[in-house]
Amino acid sequence: MTTTENQTINIPIPREAHNYAQEFAAQQPNKEKKTQVYLNTLVVYAVDNFLKMMDISTDLEASDSWNPVIRHYHNVADLAILNVFQLECRYVLPEQDEIELPPEVLEDRIGYVFVRLENSLQSGEILGFLPIDEPDEMPEEVEIDELEDIETLFECLQNLELANNAIAADIDPVFARVKERLEMEDLTNIIAQLESIYRTKKKSERRGAVTDLFETYLGIGKPESADNLVVSLKEGDDQNGDIELSDLAEDLMDKLVEIWEGRDGDLD
């Protein structure tokens, strides 16, 4: 890996990556799919090597892109990271300025790393990171100049690891209350979205954003009319329930902020 004065990050693509790419491409039914799988494999392997050099835990074999069935039917280039999250690694061709995001990679990802492959396919340049801030509003394509610096990825991963370690330790009642209220044992996906809220929302906006997220997981829709409000109240979605959910959302975000900042100080 080399870094120039303007912070360009170039990562080598070793012979082993091409060996995997040839093996996986040979399993595909047509030339177009062979090319897609070959390039996807190269970029996933390159990002895997890069993150390992940064001492970030990855698992190629647990990735969808390393699964022959998923690879055959879907255009995936994901990398399992920190043992629980998926990071999508998309290749960019030398003269390409816009990148399409296949429908199958618009969900269940913490974000996307983009790598521009050189013509020889012996190395690639990391162009940047696109976090998933609004899972339901991800674009079908992005432009290079819309990407964030790769440091955003490192910040995101550090936060996720700290949160997962705290949840795994199971020493705080807030996490237990959230699991019980949302009726879920694994908070992995929701923590990734909370981390995004932490990075992108002001302190005054976080309670509402987390409450909305909880309501989405619980399948609670907002009433569209006075009649719907009456129905909701009859079904038990009363104001006290809303307040309870909102309080829980605030408690959880406060606990995560304490973990991520290592203090109880004020936020912007």
pLDDT tens profile 46-84: 999 999 999 999 999 999 999 999 999 999 999 999 877
Report the pLDDT value the prediction gives residue 235, as an integer from 0 to 100. 41
Give percent of the chain above pLDDT 70. Answer: 84
pLDDT band at 131 (very low <50, low <70, confident <90, very high): confident
Confidence at 97, pLDDT banded by 50, 70, 90:
confident
- Burial class (CB within 10 angstroms; exposed 0-12, middle 13-18, buried 19+) of 94: exposed
CA distances from 23 to 19, 28, 113, 150, 231 (A): 6, 10, 24, 30, 58
pLDDT band at 263 (very low <50, low <70, confident <90, very high): very low
pTM as predicted: 0.80
**For residues 151-173, average pLDDT:** 88
Can you give the residue ranges of every domain in the chain? 2-149, 170-261
Position 110: which residue type?
I
Residue 188 has pLDDT above 90, yes or no: no
